[in-house]
Each structure stands twice: as structure tokens, then as C-alpha cells.
Structure 1
């Protein structure tokens, strides 16, 4: 009878005896990783180029506005106007960052690993969405805070600083509005494909190619169509909500031309809420379908 030739090798595998974290720490880790990914933190130098180039541009604009105010004593742009002025950069930031957050995971097939942990299917897209909202809000809000600090040192008295703070807070809220709507739309589009180039192109197309629709509606002979034209595109929708809720902070020039919303300001607000709700619902449905595969 031949002797056994098999050998058992002890390669050092041991059972995990440490604490087992639950849903909340996993969600927090996903969220924090998403925020870091948005700015290229913890990644290669190449991944940091675009996000920090955008950060550098918005900070330079904020520094320039602050310096001109200190030099000439006049407000070059309000905090809310700053968000509007940077909107075109936000579009391209979303087009690059949103695919990094979700398209890479779809393409590499790592989602089953995420869902094998104590993580409900809805937590993954919600964590990614909150991460993108946070990144966009920081992108627009941090320069506003820099503008506020620069202004605070040139003002006389705490009363003037308090008034300046009351101008800053609506600007930060307006930046949050930009962040929520752009992140919702951008992440939904990015979640539809694992190819980052296709996702980025789709995001840019939705944001930019809807603008001609607004232009067409605004020149129709119908006044109602003119006043509701802004709801056809996410950027003009956000601006419409801003004009409805904080017109004095966005239109500071009495002779400036502003979109005429007529009595439809609340409609812009309802459409914005409906758009975000629809995007979040479709995003959750998308990941329920992905998880079921």
C-alpha cells in the first residue's frame, strides 16, 4: 500500500477576532472615500491634476474679487453671484468626478464585494451622492468663505461684519443648491455606464445641450413659455430658483437684465425638488437592479 504523499502547509491564516463594524461605519467609510476621490486624495498625481486645477481657478477668482473690493471699496460680485460665475467649471468638475465615483466600480465589477458586507443596497448610491454633493459644496463654498474673511478684515465694527455674514449665508445655501442638483443629475448619468469617457460625455451633453432649448423657448411669442424657459436646463433652473428666493443678492445692478420669471417662481422651486427626487429615485432603482445581477 503506497504511503500518503499529501502535505498540509500552515500558511498562517487566522480567524479575525477584532471588532466587526456595522452599517454606519461602512457607510461613513464609503462617504469619506468618495470625498477624497473627488479631489484625488490618496491617489496618483495624475488623478489630482484636474480637481486641483479647478480648485486653484475658483480660489484665484475669489482672491481677485477680494483684492478688488479691498482696493476700490466696492463689491465686485456677491457670494451668490460667485456660484453663478463658476457654474461652467462645476459642470466639467461633475463630468470628471462623477464617473470616478461610480463608473470605475461598475467597470471593475467590485460591487458584489461591497454588497457582501452589512451594507444595504441603497447605502452605496446615497453615500456616493452625498460625497459628490459635499465636494461640489466645498468647491463653491470655500472660496466664498475666503471672500468673507478678506472682507471682514476691511470692515469697521462688528455690525458690518454681522451684515456681511448675513450675505454669506444665503450664498452658501445657494452653493448647496447648485451642488445638490448637479450632483443628482451627474451621478445618475454616470451610474448608467462603466465607461468613464461615455459617462463624462453624457453629463456634459445633458448640461450644455439643454441650453439651446432654453434659448428657443425664451424667444417664442408666448410670454408663459418665455417665463418658464429656464426649467428646461439644470443651470438655468438653479438660477431661476435663486432669482425667486434671493433676487437682491443675484441682481445687484438696477439696470441689469434679469430673467423674467413672472408668477412662476414657485414652479421653478417645485421643478427643482422634483428633479432631485426623480434622480435619487432612479439612482436607487439603478443600484437595486445592479445588485440583483
Structure 2
């Protein structure tokens, strides 16, 4: 038999001798990288333009509201109303951020690398979802803090500051509700395609095209249908929960009393929970299918 002629050459690569990190560290790295991606950090200057433009707009609006309130001596806008008024910007922010989080990886075919041990299949979409929700919450919550500090510095005494803080906390929770629903729906739509343009268009369509459905339902002759109309759109679903749970902060005399939910306020809350749960379940199913290929 001929002797083997193969030769192994040592070209100087060093073995990794550091600690082997586990699932928690991998999940944390995915999450932090996702939050940075949402705001364009660590990417090109072009990728930073839109997210930071939106950040600048919401902060400037918060600063303007604070300045006007201090000048006239009364509140122009509550914290919850601020979140409602910025919802249109949030839609387009999600349409840009969600495809950056997942569509690029789907198209480039790098998911098998992510799904190597010790990362379970469910951790990837959950880390991306948490990152997007965090980014949206910061987008709505940080300007509320600007409003709070502006009001606190112009308040008379610690009692007024404490009252302002009690108004801020429900506003931050309300911003979290916006973030949870928008992130769940937006990331699910983005995960359906590897093309970012299609994903962005699909996200905008889901949020904007459902609004006319609500308008149609509200003019039908059935009072029950009118009261449940807000369930047809993610945006009006969130606003319905706000009106039910925080009516004093959402509805003012200038709004004409706000939409009538009747006895269906808890139905809106249950529908929001069901929507988020359904989106998460479908997102996990989507990535189980992708991983099985």
C-alpha cells in the first residue's frame, strides 16, 4: 500500500482559550445589538439619518410642549396624549427598524450560524422583538422625561413634583403598550420576507389600511359595532385601552369626550393581550420553519 502523502501545516492560528459563554450571554448580545440596530448605531451614516431624525422630531415636540406649558401656566398635553400624537411617526419608525432587524438576516442566509449551539430557535426572534419594543419605548418615553423635567423645574414645591411623577408613570406604561403592540405586529410582518422594501411596505399597509376599516365601522347603525370598531386597527386598539384605563389623561374637553367604548373597555385590553400573544406565536412558528430548511 502506498504511504499517505498528506501534510498538516501549522499556519499560526491560535486556539480560543477564553470562557465559553452560554445562552444568556448570546441572548443578551443579540438584544443589545438589536437595540443598536434600531437606532442605526454601529452602521453607516446613511442608516442613522431616519431613526435619529425621528428622535429629533419627538424630542423637539416634547421641548416645545414643555416651553408652551411653562409660559401659559397650564398643561398643553398629557404624557399619554403625547404618545398618541406621535403614533404616526412610530409607524414609519417601525417600518424602517423592523426590516433592519430581521429581513437582512433572512436574505443573507446567516440564520444557520445564529441557530448553532447554545442559541435555541426561539431566542433569536424573542431577542429581536424585545430589542424593537425597547427602541420604541425609548422613542416615546425619553421625550416624556423631557416633559417631566421641564414641568418639575417650574413646579412649586415637592408636592407638585410628586403629582407630576404620578402623571408620568402611567404615560410611560402607555408608551410601553404602544411599543409592545407595534413591535409585535411590525416584526411579524418583517419576518415574512427577506426584502426590506417589501417588509417596510407591508408594515405601513397593515397599520394604515386598517384605519379606514375603523372609520367604516363607526358609522354603521349598530351601537355595539361602533363601540367595538377600534379593535380593527392596532392604533385604535391601543387608544381604546388608554381611554378605558386612563381617561383623564387621554380625553379632554377639547376632544368632545372621546369615542364611546361602552362596557367594552376590558375587551380592548384582552384583545391587546391576544394580539401580542398571537404575533409572538406566529413569529416563533415562522422561525421554526426557517430553521428546519
What TM-score do you get using the length of structure 1 for normalisation? Answer: 0.97
Residue aligning to 2:23: 23
Residue aligning to 1:191: 191
Instruction: Give the secondary-structure state (helix, strand or coil) at the position aligned to 1:105.
Output: helix
Show structure 1 runs of 5+ residues with no match.
Answer: none
Q: What do the CA deviations read for 1:83-140 (whole angstroms, capped 9, x no partner)?
A: 0000000000000000000000000001000111300100000000000000000000
Q: What do the CA deviations read for 1:139-169 (whole angstroms, capped 9, x no partner)?
A: 0000000100000000011000000000000
Residue aligning to 1:216: 216
Matches within 5 A, 1:118-129: 118-129=118-129
Structure 1 position 234, deviation (Å): 0.3
Matched, 1:166 2:171: no
Q: What do the CA deviations read for 1:227-255 (whole angstroms, capped 9, x no partner)?
A: 00000000000000100000000112266
**Residue range with higher mean Cα deviation, 198-207 or 9-18:** 9-18
CA distance in 1 between partners of 2:5 and 2:228 (Å): 82
Instruction: Give the secondary-structure state (helix, strand or coil) at the position aligned to 1:237.
Output: helix
CA distance in 2 between partners of 1:191 and 1:6 (Å): 46
Instruction: Give the secondary-structure state (helix, strand or coil) at the position aligned to 1:228.
Output: helix
Distance 1:46 1:8, change over 3 A: same
CA distance in 2 between partners of 1:60 and 1:150 (Å): 13
CA distance in 2 between partners of 1:72 and 1:182 (Å): 34
Residue aligning to 1:90: 90
Residue aligning to 1:242: 242
Instruction: Give the secondary-structure state (helix, strand or coil) at the position aligned to 2:253.
Output: coil
Matches within 5 A, 1:1-293: 8-253=8-253, 256-293=256-293
**Residue range with higher mean Cα deviation, 25-34 or 6-15:** 6-15
Structure 1 position 14, deviation (Å): 2.8
CA distance in 1 between partners of 2:75 and 2:41 (Å): 34
**Residue range with higher mean Cα deviation, 162-171 or 255-264:** 255-264
CA distance in 1 between partners of 2:189 and 2:196 (Å): 11
CA distance in 2 between partners of 1:232 and 1:192 (Å): 21
Q: CA RMSD in A?
A: 1.5
Structure 1 position 74, deviation (Å): 1.4
Structure 1 position 7, deviation (Å): 6.1
Structure 1 position 15, deviation (Å): 2.2
CA distance in 1 between partners of 2:55 and 2:244 (Å): 29
Structure 1 position 5, deviation (Å): 8.5
